[in-house]
Chains A and B, each alone.
Chain A
Amino acid sequence: MLDRLANWLRKIGHSAIEGIWRLGYAGKFMLLTLLGSGSSFTRIGLVVRELYYTGVRSLVIIIVSGLFVGMVLGLQGYETLQRYGASSSLGVMVALALVRELGPVVAALLFASRAGSAITAEIGLMKATEQLSAMEMMAVDPISRVVAPRFWSGVISMPLLAAIFNAMGIFGGYLIGVVLIGLDEGSYWSQTHAGVDFRYDILNGIIKSFVFGIAVSAIAVFEGYDSPPTAEGVSGATTRTVVTSSLVILFLDFILTSFMFRGV
C-alpha cells in the first residue's frame, strides 16, 4: 500500500518536473526566436513568403466559416430578438458578437487547425528529414531562418484573418436579416454603425486576435521544433498544436474578456 502511494507520488513528481522543464525549454526557445528575429525584418521576403502559406492559404476557410457563422447568428438572433420586438437591433447584435468574441476566437481556432498544424508538421518534417541539421551544418541558424519567419507571419496574419472573418460574418448577418427576412436595410446598418464602438469593441477584438496569434504561432513553431524526428512524433506534435492552441485560446479569451468587457 505504502509502495503504491510512493510510486504514485513519484509519478506525479516526475510529471511535474517534466512539465516545468518543458515550460522552461519552451521559454528559452521563444527567447531565442525573438533574438533571432532580426533577419525576419531585414529580409522581409522570408516573412512575406510565409504570410502566403499561413495567411493567404487560410482565406477560404476563414471566409466561408465567417459567412456561415454570421448567417447562423442572423437566424438565431432574429428568432430571439423578435420575441421582444427588437428585431431591428439584429445588425448590432451580430456585429458585437462577432467583433468582440466570435471573430477573434473562431478565427483563431480555425487558424490553429489550418495554419498552426501546417507549421508544426512542416518544421517537424524538416527536422525528421535532417533539413534543420543540414542548415546548422551550413552555418545557418534554423531558428532565424525557419522558425522566426513562420512565427511572425502567424502573428501578422491572425488579426487580418479575424478582421476578414468579422466582415464576412457581418455580411452573412445582413444576408439573413435584410435579404432573406426583409428587415429595413437603413436601420440595419445605422444601428450597427451606432452600436459598435471603435475603441471599446473593435480595438479590443484586434488586441484579442493579436494575442491569439502570438499564442498559436508560438505553440506551432515550438511543437514542430521539439517534435521527435519520427512519423509518430510529427503526428503527435501536430495534434498537440491543435489541442493546446484551442485550450490556450479559450483560456486567454476568458482572461482578456474579463479585463476588457466588465459592463462598466
Chain B
Amino acid sequence: MQSENFLEVKDLNFTYDTRPILKGINMTIPRGKVVAIMGGSGCGKTTLLRLIGGQLKPSRGHVKFDGRIIHELSRRELYETRRKMGMLFQFGALFTDLSVFDNVAFQMREHTDLPESVIRDLVLMKLHAVGLRGARDLMPNELSGGMARRVALARTIALDPMLIMYDEPFTGLDPISLGVIGNLIRKLNDALGATSIVVTHDVLESFQIVDYVYFVSEGAIVAHGTPEELQKSTVPFVHQFIHGEIDGPVPFHYPAADYPEDLALESGNA
C-alpha cells in the first residue's frame, strides 16, 4: 500500500569530515504537493536533495521514500527506486555530446525496449510540454540558459517520475524564463500527478507556485508553513530572508577581528 506521506525525512543528520552540514532535519511531504526548501547559499539544501536521491548516506536518521528507507536499499534497489525520481540540476547538467532530442530520449533508451518510433513520439511530447519541440536538433551549447533548463526539465520528466526534485531551478534566469520555469513546475506536477521538491532561494517566484515551505538555516529547519503563513512570520531569519534585509540573524559581515583594532587605530598608527 502506498503511504500518504510520500516522503518522510526523520532526524536526518549529515556530517562532512567533522563538519556538520545537516542537524536533525524532520519533514513530511504529502503526495501531489509542491514543497519548497528555502535557505541561504551553503545551508545544506542541495545536500538534503542528494540524501533524498541516495547519492549520500546520512550520519544519522533516514529518508523514507514511498515507504522505503533510502540508505538501507541495495544498489540494485536504489537504482530501481531512482527510476521513480527525477532531478533537475542547477544548470541543467545536459549531456553536452548529445542533441536536445537525444538528451530527452536518454532514459527511455537506457531503461526501456520501446521502438525508436515510440521514443520519437514520447520525446516530442515531452519537448512540446516545455515549448521546445522545434529545438529538438540543437546541441546544448546552442541553447540559452532558460532553454537548457527547459530541456533538462523535459529530460527529468521523460519517464513520468513520481517525485521531481529541482535544485535551484531559477538561478541565473531572465524574468521571462523564470516565469516559464515556475509555471512549468506547477503545471507538470499537477499534470503528472507527481510530488515536487523545489530547493531555492527565490522567494517571489516560489511562493506563487508551492503549497508548503521549509526554511533551512545552518543545517536545521527554522520555520515551516504555507507561503501565506510564512509571509506573516515573526521568526527573525524568515523575516530577513523574505524581505531581503541586509542585516539580521544572517550578518552582513563575515566574522572578523574588531574593526578599529584591525585598522590599528587604537595603537595610534592612524
A interface residue numbers (CB < 8 A to B): 126, 129-131, 133-134, 136-141, 145
Q: Is the CB of B93 within 8 A of A133?
A: yes
Per-residue CB proximity of B84-110 to A under 8 Å, as 1/0? 011101110111100000000011001
Q: How far is the CA of A138 from the CA of B90 in the complex (A)?
A: 16
Q: How far is the CA of A141 from the CA of B96 in the complex (A)?
A: 18
Q: Decide yes or no: A134 and B89 within 8 Å by CB, A129-B96, A139-B111, A140-B107 being known contacts.
A: yes
Asked if B55 CB lies within 8 Å of chain A CBs, one says yes
Closest 9 CB pairs of A and B: A134-B93, A130-B93, A139-B82, A139-B79, A137-B87, A130-B89, A139-B83, A138-B107, A140-B110
Min CB gap B135→A, angstroms: 19
8 more CB-based (< 8 A) A-B contacts, given A129-B93, A130-B89:
A129-B91, A129-B96, A131-B95, A134-B93, A134-B95, A136-B82, A137-B82, A138-B106
Q: Is the CB of B96 within 8 A of A138?
A: no
Asked if B80 CB lies within 8 Å of chain A CBs, one says yes
Q: How far is the CA of A126 from the CA of B98 in the complex (A)?
A: 13
Q: Is the CB of B107 within 8 A of A130?
A: no
Q: Is the CB of B53 within 8 A of A137?
A: yes
| Residues on the B chain within 8 Å of A134, using CB | 87, 89, 93, 95
| Residues on the A chain within 8 Å of B94, using CB | 131
Contact of A141 among B79, B80, B85 (CB under 8 A): B79
Q: How far is the CA of A145 from the CA of B93 in the complex (A)?
A: 16
Min CB gap B156→A, angstroms: 9
Contact of B91 among A126, A130, A136, A145 (CB under 8 A): A130
Q: Is the CB of B82 within 8 A of A138?
A: yes
| Residues on the A chain within 8 Å of B80, using CB | 139
9 contacts between A and B (CB under 8 A): A126-B96, A129-B96, A130-B91, A136-B55, A137-B55, A137-B82, A140-B106, A140-B107, A140-B110
Min CB gap B97→A, angstroms: 8
Q: How far is the CA of A137 from the CA of B110 in the complex (A)?
A: 13
Q: How far is the CA of A212 from the CA of B156 in the complex (A)?
A: 40
Contact of B93 among A131, A139, A140, A141 (CB under 8 A): A131
Q: Is the CB of A133 within 8 A of B110?
A: no
Min CB gap A20→B, angstroms: 19
| Residues on the A chain within 8 Å of B111, using CB | 139-140
Q: How far is the CA of A136 from the CA of B93 in the complex (A)?
A: 12
Closest A residue by C-beta to B107: A138
Min CB gap A46→B, angstroms: 11
| Residues on the B chain within 8 Å of A126, using CB | 96
Q: Is the CB of B91 within 8 A of A137?
A: no
Q: How far is the CA of A175 from the CA of B253 in the complex (A)?
A: 73
Q: How far is the CA of A138 from the CA of B165 in the complex (A)?
A: 12
Q: How far is the CA of A134 from the CA of B167 in the complex (A)?
A: 11
Contact of B85 among A129, A133, A137 (CB under 8 A): A137
Min CB gap B3→A, angstroms: 22
| Residues on the A chain within 8 Å of B110, using CB | 138-140, 145
Min CB gap B34→A, angstroms: 19
Q: How far is the CA of A138 from the CA of B110 in the complex (A)?
A: 9
Q: How far is the CA of A129 from the CA of B91 in the complex (A)?
A: 8
Min CB gap B126→A, angstroms: 14
Min CB gap B49→A, angstroms: 9
| Residues on the A chain within 8 Å of B79, using CB | 139, 141
Q: How far is the CA of A141 from the CA of B93 in the complex (A)?
A: 16
- Residues in B49-90 with C-beta less than 8 Å from chain A: 53, 55, 79-80, 82-83, 85-87, 89-90
Min CB gap B70→A, angstroms: 13
Scoring A126, A130, A137, A140 by chain B CB atoms within 10 A of each residue's CB, the highest score goes to: A137
Q: Is the CB of B55 within 8 A of A133?
A: yes
| Residues on the A chain within 8 Å of B106, using CB | 138, 140
Min CB gap B71→A, angstroms: 15
Q: How far is the CA of A130 from the CA of B110 in the complex (A)?
A: 19
Min CB gap B173→A, angstroms: 17
| Residues on the B chain within 8 Å of A130, using CB | 89-91, 93
Q: Decide yes or no: A133 and B82 within 8 Å by CB, A138-B107, A140-B110 being known contacts.
A: no
Min CB gap A212→B, angstroms: 27
- Residues in B103-139 with C-beta less than 8 Å from chain A: 106-107, 110-111
| Residues on the B chain within 8 Å of A131, using CB | 93-96
Q: How far is the CA of A2 from the CA of B89 in the complex (A)?
A: 52
Scoring A126, A134, A141 by chain B CB atoms within 10 A of each residue's CB, the highest score goes to: A134
| Residues on the A chain within 8 Å of B89, using CB | 130, 133-134
| Residues on the B chain within 8 Å of A145, using CB | 110
Min CB gap B37→A, angstroms: 17
Min CB gap A29→B, angstroms: 15
Q: How far is the CA of A139 from the CA of B110 in the complex (A)?
A: 9
